[in-house]
Structure 1
């Protein structure tokens, strides 16, 4: 690995972690997060919003004045923007997290920070959806009743068809 790459990577980590990069211009596009909101344990993509001139960067996450348990995402060229994919840890608390993206402009200079907001939603509910007889059901009793009703209808249909054939009716 070249020394310049190591130094650039170190500068990006310092800028992202300690806010040492120059402030972004007022005309900067917001950071794009998809999907947003994300449930704990879910994956998301983060993009620079077209602000970075280089091909790599870092996205960090914090809530208020503190950090967060959402890990830093390394960014690279992705879908004609600088972006990356991350995972919200299952233990992450719901709320709004500030996203800060800094990039290397390809000449060793730091661009950003560019900011956005990642919203972590409440955890996905567990178990079957309580929708009555028309929805997905996971209980064995309801499944057995449905199979029994279909079986009875099939047997009845066969019985009616055989009786028609035996009596000569069309």
Structure 2
């Protein structure tokens, strides 16, 4: 037991130290300007071609204005303006009727600072596609040795029933004190 615990501890320490060794190290006096990405909420997140989409964000500062880009889906640019919610910018665009199904990234560049916020829009061809339930079996490689033959399935169920009944009978005899 102790040997297993030591082995697991040593393995965990080795993995942790490898992660630290693989982490990038920044040194010297070099400073990199980083564009921070924020969150852009897309409503509805799943839309049909030709529908209106609203986007909003609270990550653009006090002015709350931004220039949106829905070019990935073919809708072009749009403006996000301050809304009635303090510090929140809101805008709208129309998904083109020629839009193909898929997931598209919507980007907005905040007017204050050097900040981009992103969100995802999924385009589907019909509302029925949203509620598709999976069907069929999953090929996991586990079980299924007997197949779907009803005779073999019935034989297996009968064997299990006999085993359960025999086990119950033996436990009952033991509880009564008759012995086994």
* Rg comparison, structure with higher value: 2
